[in-house]
Structure 1
């Protein structure tokens, strides 16, 4: 797990409104097998995940 963003860029991140994005996931344990499964199902040309139930697109509203 990586630490907080470098203090050298903290002010830039805050000024641009990306500070909260740089801190997403901190303190969360990521499951490498789950991440690998999603990577295998990602279809780059269509920007979708191909899942057994159906295809799913990730939109900005999902973020």
Structure 2
């Protein structure tokens, strides 16, 4: 993110339990070579990283645990 979120969506983020996500990654230095290495090993058709030692799958539970997301409550969807 380049800056704080718009005041128009702050309440929606809080209500959905995503407000803490606004600060994820701030102050972190990104390693472009590491990111490129992971991109080269990602297989989008299977959602698996093919690494020299073995294959790794990232699940929704992994994302939930890493980002501290709540999995309790209603599902948010966009009509259409």
TM-score computed with the length of structure 1 as normaliser: 0.81
Alignment of 1:1-63 (within 5 A): 2-63=2-63
The 3-state SS of whatever aligns with 1:38 is helix
Residue segments in structure 2 that go unaligned for 5+ positions in a row? 64-80
Structure 1 vs Structure 2 CA RMSD:
1.6
Residue segments in structure 1 that go unaligned for 5+ positions in a row? none
TM-score computed with the length of structure 2 as normaliser: 0.67
Which portions of structure 1, spanning 4 or more consecutive aligned residues, are displaced by more than 6 angstroms? none
1:3 Cα deviation after fit: 2.3
Give the distance between the partners of 2:54 and 2:28, measured in 1 at CA.
28
Find the structure with the greater CA-based Rg: 2
Give the distance between the partners of 2:28 and 2:36, measured in 1 at CA.
17
